[in-house]
Amino acid sequence: MNPVPYPPRDLSSASTLGLPCMAEHFAAPASLAELQAALAEARARGWPLTLLGGGSNLILPERLSGLVIRPAMAGWWVEEGEGDRVRVHAEAGVVWHDLVMALAGQGLWGTENLALIPGHCGAAPIQNIGAYGVELSEVLEALQVVDLADGREAWMTPQACAFGYRDSVFKGRLAGRVVITRLVLNLSRRGEARLGYGDLAGRVGKDPTPLEVVEAVCAIRRDKLPDPARLANAGSFFKNPVVEAALAERLLALDPEMPHFPQPDGRVKLAAGWLIDQSGLKGLCEGHFGVHDRQALVLVHFGGGSAAELLAFAERVARRVLERFGVALEREPRLAG
Ligand code: EPU
């Protein structure tokens, strides 16, 4: 066998949580051919694989054995479609927010509410990124994957991706089996702003452009969410829980102000941030970690801590919410390795 081609890499700054991590082998393929070569090498040497994107929704352990692959193909282009429609092709390594800015700058509608979500395009479908009343699945037309087992390319429809709230087939049946290499988005040159969520409508003028919506979304996010470049975090640490109607009613009887969102199946989605806040935990600091003081759904890392300590801290937060409200919180960021 040839000398080992993919050297180790310190990944301590590769995730927005800033947890210390060493990868045994690391590859950043800049083309499909390079990706396929890295997969073939891993197969030949029996290395386990870990995929990395922008690292904004990931908890890294101290050591990752085998090969860590961070797709680095980062091209994107616009293809004219029927009438006002356009197709936008974006490769996995494109920074999501940079794409959103560029598309809004071109007057294209569809992704403006998803501004300032950290991470790369290739990771966006995994948790079906969503914010301000819009989810990626609403604009996704197709995506390309490469099978980790044999390096073969395939295209998938949104139906095949089984998108849900912060969920997709890539967290389930296809977890650890494919790498997403390209997104195709269906956008429009003519559109209408979607301003129904929270105070978004109050932040823009009449008939805003996509860029004005992007700026309003960025302003709201900057108000509430910590910038990972200044304070390490992985965005929402818990999903908003969906509970049985009877439980929601009992909780509403205690506090009619509780934010609640009835779901089509009769259950009710609650705001995890509110539940944590009302449990008196907002701003709590314990050791190297804390609950953010402006958005209780976000756990922050002050530096020096480990993944195990973070998970134990999150467990304590979830337990307090369970004791107080009888609601179980589910972790949102994925554990690597
Ligand atoms: N709330 C509190 N205290 C808090 C946080 C929230 O009382 O500390 C209340 C708010 O006042 C509001 C409700 O809870 O009534 C919901 O809060 P918010 O509108 O801020 O949204 P969220 O449900 O906390 C979700 C997403 C965010 C996304 C926003 C806006 C999840 C897990 N999180 O948060 O996504 O930006 O909606 O659409 O669904 C992320 O995934 O990393 C993320 C930031």
CA nearest ligand 1 atom 10, residue: 274
**Nearest atom (ligand 1) to Cα of 57:** 42
Largest CA distance in the chain: 68
Task: Output phi, psi for 292, to 5 deg.
Answer: -55, 145
Residue 260, CA distances (Å) to 116, 240, 243, 267 in order: 25, 10, 10, 10
Every domain of the chain with CATH number 3.30.43.10 lies at: 9-69
Q: In terms of C-beta density within 10 A (0-12 exposed, 13-18 middle, 19 or more buried), how is residue 167 classed? A: middle
Which residues line ligand 1 at a C-beta cut-off of 6 Å? 131-132, 197-198, 224-225, 235-236, 239-240, 259, 271, 273-274, 277, 282, 295-297, 332
In this structure, which topology does domain 226-335 adopt according to CATH?
A: 3.90.78
- Which pLDDT score, from 0 to 100, does residue 4 have? 74
Q: Which one from 15, 168, 236, 279 is the annotated catalytic residue?
A: 236
Task: Output phi, psi for 231, to 5 deg.
Answer: -140, 110
**Nearest atom (ligand 1) to Cα of 225:** 44
Determine whether 279 is an active site residue. Answer: no
Alpha carbon of 121 to ligand 1 centroid (Å) = 22
Alpha carbon of 155 to ligand 1 centroid (Å) = 33
Whether the CA torsion 311, 236, 15, 138 is positive or negative: it is positive
**Nearest atom (ligand 1) to Cα of 113:** 38
Every domain of the chain with CATH number 3.90.78.10 lies at: 226-335
Q: Which one from 9, 70, 166, 182 is the annotated catalytic residue?
A: 166
CA 307 – CA 5 distance, rounded (Å): 29
Determine whether 267 is an active site residue. Answer: no
Strand partners, 58: 334
**Nearest atom (ligand 1) to Cα of 296:** 8
Determine whether 332 is an active site residue. Answer: yes
CA 124 – CA 130 distance, rounded (Å): 9
Task: Output phi, psi for 253, to 5 deg.
Answer: -65, -30
CA 67 – CA 179 distance, rounded (Å): 13
Question: C-alpha dihedral over 242, 244, 247, 248, to 10 degrees?
Answer: 50
Alpha carbon of 218 to ligand 1 centroid (Å) = 14
CA nearest ligand 1 atom 16, residue: 271
DSSP codes of every residue in 22-33 = EEEEEE--SSHH
127-130: long-range contacts at Cβ-Cβ below 8 A with a sequence spacing of 24 or more? 127/57, 127/166, 127/167, 127/168, 127/171, 127/332, 127/334, 128/163, 128/164, 128/165, 128/166, 128/167, 128/168, 129/96, 130/165, 130/166
**Nearest atom (ligand 1) to Cα of 166:** 39
Q: Which one from 153, 215, 309, 332 is the annotated catalytic residue?
A: 332
Q: In terms of C-beta density within 10 A (0-12 exposed, 13-18 middle, 19 or more buried), how is residue 85 classed? A: middle
Which of 59, 236, 294 to mutate to test ligand 1, by most ligand atoms within 8 A of the CB atom?
Answer: 236
Does the domain at 9-69 match CATH 3.40.50.2300? Answer given as: no
Alpha carbon of 237 to ligand 1 centroid (Å) = 11
Query: From 3.10.25.10, 3.30.465.10, 3.30.200.20, 3.30.420.40, which CATH number describes the 76-223 domain?
Result: 3.30.465.10
Alpha carbon of 271 to ligand 1 centroid (Å) = 7
Rounded average pLDDT per 10-residue block, the chain, 337 residues: 83 97 98 98 97 97 98 98 96 98 98 97 98 97 97 98 97 97 98 93 95 98 95 98 98 98 97 98 98 98 97 98 98 94
| Whole-prediction pTM | 0.95
- The bridge status of strand 76-80 relative to strand 285-286 is unpaired
Alpha carbon of 220 to ligand 1 centroid (Å) = 11
Every domain of the chain with CATH number 3.30.465.10 lies at: 76-223
CA nearest ligand 1 atom 29, residue: 131
Which of 274, 279, 298, 299 to mutate to test ligand 1, by most ligand atoms within 8 A of the CB atom?
Answer: 274
Alpha carbon of 156 to ligand 1 centroid (Å) = 30
